[in-house]
Amino acid sequence: MALFLDIEGMFPNAVLLWLEHNLCNQRMARKIVYFIHNMLRGRITALKFDGYTSEPITIDNSIGQGDPLSMGIYQYYNADLLDIPSEKDESTMAYVDDLVMIAIADTFPEVHEKLQSMMTRPGGVAEWSSKHNSPLEYSKLALVDFAHRNSPKQREALRLLQIKIYPLVSTKYLGVIFDQSLDWKEQHAQAIGKGTSWTMQIRRLTQP
């Protein structure tokens, strides 16, 4: 089973003290930590619209959005998420604000327990989210129960943090469609559809 999570407002919500703490924990060279510290301090912005410009506003937190370094820096900001799994049948993947919690077991109730634990245990996702000022976008939560297409196992909703999450047949992660049987039919159809669309456009261009 995999629970796909999305972090809300990742760059604006980043707390700089936690970023530097995580950089040091990951043994980043001191001179690079100092460089990032100085780069993200002393910043100001202003609002401008309809001929009006506000007074300068101090930016206390956030990682610079649009900066080429931002993507790499944020990978260190959420690095603690990768340390949450504590058992051999637990795993985590994270790319910037897209997180996947993975649990493996013989039955769906067992993996539900594992996912609930990974979310709520000390040092888990909920605690990280609170400490790092990084709320989860619950409207984008996606749960997929992976099993063989002929499996008789009954898929049930996951109760998590006072909400109920119903399993989906498929979901997209980093441009790849993962379906519950892992037969990749939807991904294949999407690739064929894109290829057909581009072929038709190129064909129209070459006609003149």
pLDDT tens by residue, 71-83:
888 889 988 998 8
Q: What's the average model confidence in pLDDT over 20-44?
A: 90
The whole-number pLDDT of residue 49 equals 92
Q: Judge whether residue 192 has pLDDT over 90.
A: yes
Whole-model pTM?
Answer: 0.79
**Structural domain for 154, as ranges:** 2-168
Residues 144 and 189 in one domain: no
The whole-number pLDDT of residue 154 equals 83
The whole-number pLDDT of residue 33 equals 92
Six-digit token string for 42: 């002393």
Q: What's the average model confidence in pLDDT over 93-120?
A: 90
Residues 143 and 193 in one domain: no
Residues 141 and 191 in one domain: no
**What long-range pairs does 183-188 form, CB within 8 A, spacing at least 24?**
183/149
Phi/psi at 57 (nearest 5 deg)? -115, 125
What domain count does the chain have?
A: 2
Six-digit token string for 168: 């989906």
Q: Which carries the bigger pLDDT value, residue 102 or residue 10?
A: 102
Q: Judge whether residue 169 has pLDDT over 80.
A: yes
Classify residue 178 by its DSSP letter.
E
Six-digit token string for 62: 């956030």
Q: What's the average model confidence in pLDDT over 187-207?
A: 92
The whole-number pLDDT of residue 176 equals 92
The whole-number pLDDT of residue 197 equals 93
| Mean per-residue pLDDT over the chain, rounded | 89
Residues 164 and 121 in one domain: yes
Q: Judge whether residue 188 has pLDDT over 90.
A: yes
Q: Judge whether residue 9 has pLDDT over 90.
A: no
Q: Judge whether residue 142 has pLDDT over 80.
A: yes
Phi/psi at 28 (nearest 5 deg)? -70, 145
Residues 87 and 189 in one domain: no
What is the C-alpha separation between 45 and 38, in angstroms, rounded?
17
Classify residue 142 by its DSSP letter.
E
What is the C-alpha separation between 42 and 46, in angstroms, rounded?
14
Q: Judge whether residue 161 has pLDDT over 80.
A: no
Residue in 10, 128, 127 with CA at minimum distance from that of residue 61: 10
Q: What's the average model confidence in pLDDT over 36-45?
A: 87
Residue in 94, 71, 98, 100 with CA at minimum distance from that of residue 11: 71
Residues 113 and 74 in one domain: yes
Q: Judge whether residue 198 has pLDDT over 90.
A: yes
Residue in 106, 80, 87 with CA at minimum distance from that of residue 1: 106
Residues 117 and 162 in one domain: yes
Query: What count of other Cβ atoms lies within 10 Å of the Cβ of residue 111?
Result: 22
Query: What count of other Cβ atoms lies within 10 Å of the Cβ of residue 202?
Result: 10
Residues 40 and 102 in one domain: yes
The whole-number pLDDT of residue 35 equals 92
E strand or H helix at 171, and its extent? strand 170-173
